[in-house]
Structure 1
Amino acid sequence: MGTIKTKLIVTVNELSKEDFVTHYLNKQPVLIKKSWTKNWPAYEKWNLDYIQSLAGETVVPLYNNEPTKGKQKSAVPVTEMRLYDYLEILKTQPTDLRIFFYDTLKKLPILIEDIKYPEIGLKFFKRLPVMFFGGEGSNVVPHYDMDVANLVHFHFHGHKRVWLFPPSQSKNMYQVPWSIHGLESIDLDNPDFEKYPALQDLEAIEVFMEHGDALYMPPAYWHYIKYLDGGFSITLRAFQRNLKGLGTMLYNVTILRNVENLLRYTFGTKWTDYKEKKMVRKVNKNYHKRHKNG
């Protein structure tokens, strides 16, 4: 076992549109401490109690940290629960159950009245503000977003830790073929360098987020998220407007995901085991080759 190398993210208290475009847009992530949300109604209103007061009888799908198996699709919920009851769990105990990619505009549209889209030179896709909820100790498998969008991630109620890795580190992430995530059996908090030696070349950009913080993530940045206590976030996204970015998004959404689900349905565990073992051998071989020559 070992430890992933880390360095702290660039953190600012204020960030103008001009500085954002010049220094960060499509270049590097940045953490903005509260200034982008301090004038939002959400800054004062949003906590688990408030969301619970709006929950009513809404039922939500819940995900956990267990890999999907057999002929399951690559991402499926493990159970369903009333949103009210789930939030009560977040308030009272650790859990690895998470709400993933919750369509806020469709499910709880009243919340959109509490936010403001920052004017920072991004054309946000306002039809899809999505929320994420997690309990103490839960984490999200390392991945990048399928639509390779610019992401601004706002956190509320509680604390979370985010590790970011640039696209150049994909060669060391043990990316599962036909997916946008890493190998689910890898624990980045306790990495096995003997079994997965390429992890030794990783250096995470470490982010600690609290209520009202905003995190900008450039397109295709990997993120590994760990909830330090119960809380939730909302992500605003802006699609890339160049041919390469749009082409990658269309390929991921229309081809990659559907081919993967078809192969899972057809071959089940044989397919997932085969592609994962082949990928690990390849990543390890390339790691040893690089270090032998370097």
Structure 2
Amino acid sequence: MALNLQDIPRVKTITKPDFINQYFKPQKPVVIEQCITHWPAYSKWNLDYMKAVAGDVTVPLYDDRPVDYKDGFNEPHFKMKMADYIDLLKKEPTRYRIFLWNILKEVPQLQDDFTFPDFGLRLMKDLPMLFFGGRDSYTFMHYDIDLANIFHFHFEGTKQIILFDQQQNDYLYKVPHSLITREDIDFANPDFEKWPLLKKAKGYKTELNHGEVLYMPEGYWHYMRYITPGFSMSLRAIARNPKNFSKAVYNLLIMRYYDNAMRRIQGQKWIDWKNEQAIVRAKKLQQALKN
């Protein structure tokens, strides 16, 4: 048995009115295949180019270890020179990923390789973020703290993506006071005996290739696995839905600070309690569905 996933719609190109009416307003994902063929980045951006322009920059790296109470919010697990990291990516599979790397801050010249597309949403132009990963590395299922509208541009290789909207939260074993599901769920090959509610979740899937753009609506859960070494850039626009915007403000101003404070006070007990609560809440829901 597999997850209940439908293919994300694909278009070659799309007009701004069609994007707004067909995807943004109904909050549905879409892949745009030929949106950035005019960018210099389309022909220039690959791992060798990034090594050439950013090889001396020290980059933050993350792996797939479970959350530890000693880890700060989005605190990297390791650091390495970009040149050494790219050599590692090309040499062998590695769990190390670059996550939320601000290219404007670290390598301003990369800004010359792309322009901000007009999708009808006001993009946050000071926050273009890069993400790198080696073969078979992946992100845990999560959603972004600001519940933004995200445009995810992929470069080099292939990337598998699974999405769920916020209406699926009850079926995903969401961990309270966080933005993740249980980290021991393998969304590439889920164990439905252990995680039976996943059978009720309805989501989307696709594989992104070089130059393709994925639109992820506000607050969408996303799991990403690098089929081959590669990297992506995300541009984001603030959440427009009032409920999502208020959630974003709560996450940014209250939730993350409360979570960090509880980690300091209770240590690993806090992490363990949150993980257990994901199970407790799921069992309550299962019982309610039976009744």
Task: For 1:258 and 1:178, locate their aligned partners in 2 and report how far apart those are by CA, in whole Å.
Answer: 10
The answer to whether the 8 Å contact 1:178/1:256 transfers is yes
Aligned-residue offset at 1:242: 5.1
Please identify runs of 4+ aligned residues in structure 1 that moved more than 6 A: none
The aligned runs of 1:49-68 (5 Å cut-off) are: 49-68=48-67
User: Compared with structure 1, are the counterparts of its residues 152 and 286 closer, same or farther at alpha carbon in structure 2 (3 Å cutoff)?
Assistant: same
C-alpha deviations, 1:166-201, integer Å up to 9, x for none? 111111111111111111111112222222211111
Number of the residue aligned with 1:244: 243
Equivalents in 2 of 1:261, 1:215: separation in Å?
Answer: 32
RMSD: 1.3
Q: Which runs of 5+ in 1 are unaligned?
A: none
Distance 1:32 1:22 in 2: 15
Residue pair 2:32, 2:212 contacting (<8 A) in 1 also: yes
Aligned partner of residue 90 in structure 1, secondary structure: helix
Q: Which residue pairs with 1:32 in the alignment?
A: 32
- Is 2:115 the partner of 1:116? yes
**Structure 2 gap segments, 5+ residues each:** none
Cα distance in 1 between the residues matched to 2:43 and 2:102 = 22
Match of 1:178 in 2: 177
> 1:162, 1:207 within 8 Å by CA — same for their partners in 2?
yes
Q: Higher mean Cα deviation, 224-233 or 113-122?
A: 113-122
Deviations 1:237-294 (A, max 9, x none): 010245433322211111111110110111111111112112212112203421x24x
TM-superposed deviation, 1:74: 4.3
The count of residues paired between Structure 1 and Structure 2 equals: 290
Q: Residue 68 of structure 1 contacts residue 74 of structure 1 at CA under 8 Å; is this kept in 2?
A: no
2:218 maps to what in 1? 219
Query: 1:75: how far off?
Result: 3.1
Q: One-letter code of the match for 1:32?
A: I
- Local SS of the residue matching 1:223: strand
Deviations 1:19-40 (A, max 9, x none): 001100142000011x211000
State whether residues 159 and 227 of structure 2, in contact with CA within 8 Å, keep that contact through their aligned partners in structure 1. yes
What is the alpha-carbon distance in structure 1 between the residues aligned to residue 136 and residue 245 of structure 2?
Answer: 35
Match of 1:197 in 2: 196
Please give the TM-score of this superposition, normalised by the length of structure 1: 0.95
Distance in 2 of aligned mates of 1:241 and 1:170: 20
Check conservation: 2:95, 2:136, Cα contact below 8 A.
yes
Q: Which deviates more, 73-82 or 53-62?
A: 73-82
